[in-house]
A and B are shown apart, each in its own frame.
Chain A
Amino acid sequence: MTKREEILVDGNHKLFDKNGMFYKEFPSDYRQVRFFSMLIVQKAPAEIRDINLLEQQVSELIKNAIRHGNKKDPEKKIRIWASFSKTCAHLIVEDEGEGFKEVDRWNDFNKKRNECFLTQNFDDLEKYFCFKTDHSTEEDGGNALFASLEYWDGGVVLNESRNAFAVYKSFSGKKRPGIDISGSQM
Chain B
Amino acid sequence: MEIGFRKYRHIYIVDVKGDMDLYNAHELKNVVNRLIDKRISNIIINLEKVDYIDSSGIGALIHIFTSIKRNGYNLRISNVHGSVAKVIKLTKLMGYFPIVDEVKTALQQLS
Residues of A within 8 A of B (CB): 30-31, 33-34, 50-53, 56, 59-60, 63, 117, 122, 125-126, 129-130, 138-144, 146-147, 150-151
- Chain B residues with CB under 8 Å of chain A are 21-23, 25-26, 51-60, 62, 66, 82-83, 86-87, 90-92, 96
Structural contact, A146 and B90, CB atoms closer than 8 A = yes
Q: Give the CA-CA distance A89 to B29 in the complex, in Å.
A: 33
Q: A117-B92, A147-B90 are in contact. Are A141 and B58 (CB under 8 A)?
A: yes
- Tally A-B pairs: CB < 8 A: 73
Chain A binding surface SS class = helix
Minimum CB–CB distance for A96 against chain B, Å? 20
Q: List 17 A-B contacts (CB under 8 A).
A: A50-B86, A51-B83, A51-B86, A53-B86, A59-B21, A63-B55, A126-B66, A129-B62, A138-B26, A139-B22, A141-B55, A141-B62, A142-B55, A143-B59, A146-B92, A150-B90, A151-B90
Contact of B22 with A143 in the complex, beta carbons under 8 Å: no
Measured CB to CB, the nearest residue on chain B to A60 is: B55
Question: Known: A122-B96, A141-B57. Contact between A147 and B91, CB under 8 A?
Answer: yes
Cα–Cα distance between A150 and B90 once the two chains are bound (Å): 6
* Contact across chains for A60 and B86 when beta carbons are under 8 A apart: no
Q: Complex Cα distance A31/B24, Å?
A: 11
A residues less than 8 Å from B86 (CB atoms): 50-51, 53
Q: Which residue of B lies closest to A33 (CB)?
A: B22
Which residues of A sit under 8 angstroms from B53, Cβ to Cβ?
56
